[in-house]
Amino acid sequence: MQELKKSFKFYVITYGCRVNQYETQSIREWWMSLGGVETEDPAEADVIFIDSCAVTAEAVADARQMARKLGRLNPQARIFAAGCAATAAPEDFRQLPGVAAVIPQVQKFVLLSGHPLELSDFSAPGGEEGAARSFAPFSISSFKRARPVIKVQDGCSQGCAYCIIPLTRGPSRSRPVEDIVAEAHRLLASGHREILLSGVNLRQFHSGSGDGRNFWSLLRRLDSELAPEWAGRARFRLSSLDPAQVTGSMGTECLETLEGCRMLCPQLHLSLQSGSPTVLARMARSPYSPENIADSVAKMRRFWPVMGLGADILMGFPGETEAETEETLAMLRVLPMTYAHVFPYSERPGTRAATLPQLPKKVRQEHAARVRSLMAEKKAAFLGVQMGLPEMWVAFDSADARHGNNEYFVDCRLERPEALGENASPLAEQGRELIKVKPLRIEKNLLIVRPA
């Protein structure tokens, strides 16, 4: 068996959120520590891992179809189907040829407990209920891509009417602050220069010490500990924020934290979902209003005169009227948006919204298309703003050293990679250094840049 542990090959495919990407990386590192070698060819793998997503019906179908395809391609492989889709629709995966185990999301960490060709018990200590109450022991030391994720929080206790995540990932729980800080140190030491702080609902992060410290406290701790060495050489970016984190009782602390952080990108992504108060109420979202958001963003622009602002927008929610659609469009026109992820509503079994009278899919898609059209205009306008900047800093992706994002989360392409020069550092060649560049022109929603 020792010989076996030195020679197995594995193939992984990850769907969905950045938290899934993080957990996949943790499993990847564990298998490599056992002597596993990752392959890009699933036909030669001994083990196949599918980390699935259940945010939409299409996401579940994509993972299921991939599992079926891989089982046919490589009938000798052990296939592990895990993640949210495997939790929401386990029988869809369990019946497929080659699937050795369907692992509920909250028990995914059992893959860190043994060799993948030997594991036979996929139940977590304390069962699913126990696993859902504790923060799973995932950790990473590096990342396959240039810009790694640090998972700081998991699960959600909000219970939005449309969302299946509380049913698949369980209630909110937070990672110990010391573990987060240590992981940030490891990733910076391994050569990464842009780190994304991510979770399922960052508003529900807490330090666990009973002192009332929240996500903004965590961000200040990271900045105070790391900025003396890394400010100007590395940076943090934040994943999706609940609008209630930047308004209301948390708004003042948010603004003070954002203004004071030396390593934070001037860019935020808000889980807005809708600009209609009545739709937000039916969604059971946290209380906020377009006016609250506009006020907070206006205050941010006092210290971030140029900032990237993105959002998740969900259109076609049950009962959404023409007037409610216009309310969302009106909010997005007012806000200095620079991009958005726009989704037509998709029924998720087990959620409250799935029991409501549904709009025809054509209407949902039409509402989403109107928002996408507006956001395309906003994005184009922000690209024009970028052309007026004297310089910016880009983290290029190690998978393609020509492409990356600047601090405002604008997609950039280096005109000539060789222009970095023959004396470019090894990290720059891997796409890990922050490179100072100047904008040259706009091509197909990309900002073409050259080294400054």
List C-alpha distances in Å: 249 to 115, 153, 243, 246, 253: 47, 21, 11, 9, 8
For the record, the structure tokens of 159 come out as 């219970």
What pTM does this model have? 0.92
Coil/strand/helix, residue 67: helix
pLDDT of residue 127: 59
pLDDT of residue 423: 45
Going across the sheet that includes 37-38, the strands are 37-38, 9-14, 47-52, 78-83, 99-103
pLDDT of residue 401: 66
pLDDT of residue 402: 81
Q: Which CATH class is domain 2-131?
A: alpha beta
pLDDT of residue 209: 58
Dihedral of the CA atoms 122, 126, 128, 130 (nearest 10)? Answer: -140
Beta bridge partners of 103: 82
For 432, phi then psi, to 5°, come to -100, -20
CATH 3.80.30.20 fits 149-387, yes or no: yes
For the record, the structure tokens of 165 come out as 């995540």
Residue 268: other Cβ atoms inside 10 A: 25
pLDDT of residue 129: 62
Contact 221, 257 (CB under 8 A): no
Query: pLDDT under 50 in the chain at which residues?
Result: 1-3, 422-423, 426-427, 429, 431
What are the tens digits of pLDDT across the range 405-421?
999 999 999 887 665 65
Give the span between the Cα atoms of 359 and 344, in whole angstroms: 10
Give the span between the Cα atoms of 270 and 70, in whole angstroms: 36
Give the span between the Cα atoms of 118 and 4, in whole angstroms: 10
Give the span between the Cα atoms of 139 and 26, in whole angstroms: 6
For the chain, the domains span: 2-131, 149-387, 392-451
What is the residue type of 294?
A
